[in-house]
Structure 1
Amino acid sequence: MTPEASYICGECGEEIVIPIDLSAGHEQQYVEDCPVCCRANVITVEIDDDGEPRAWGELE
C-alpha cells in the first residue's frame, strides 16, 4: 500500500489526499495544481523517523 498524506488547498479549502514517495527523501517540496479549483499549491512533505508523512500546502 502506498503511504498517503493530505493537505488543505489554500484557495478552495478542500482536503486533498496525495500519495507519498518515501524514496524521495525525508523533506520534499513540489508544486501541484489543486484537482478541485486548479490553483497551484506548493506542497511540503516531511517524513518523521517512524516513516509517518506529514504534508501541508500553501498557495504559489
Structure 2
Amino acid sequence: MLTSRHIQCPYCGERVEILVDASAGDQQYIEDCQVCCRPISIAVWVGADDEVQVSVAGEDEV
C-alpha cells in the first residue's frame, strides 16, 4: 500500500513528495532530498486512527 506524502526537507526547506509503504509497519530509513540531494531520515508509522504518519529529520538531528 504505497501512500504519497509531502514533506519539507530539513536542509533546503523545499517541499518534496515521497512514497511510503504503510503495509510494512513502523519503519525508519534514509532517502535523499530530490532537490539538494542531502540525506533525510524518514520515520513512518500508522497511528491509532489508521492514518499514516511521517516524521523527517536531518542527519545531525537523529
Same fold flag (TM > 0.5): yes
Q: Structure 1: which 4+ aligned runs deviate by more than 4 Å?
A: none
User: How many residues align structurally?
Assistant: 59
Alpha-carbon distance, 1:48 to partner: 1.6
Structure 2: gaps of 5 or more residues: none
Counting aligned pairs with the same residue, the percent is 42
TM-score by length of 2: 0.77
Aligned to 1:18: 18
Greater helix fraction, Structure 1 or Structure 2: 2
Question: Larger relative contact order (C-alpha < 8 A, sep ≥ 6)?
Answer: 1
Instruction: Answer yes or no: is the 8 Å Cα contact 1:46–1:54 preserved in 2.
Output: yes
Structure 1 unaligned runs (5+)?
A: none
1:48 aligns with 47
RMSD: 1.7
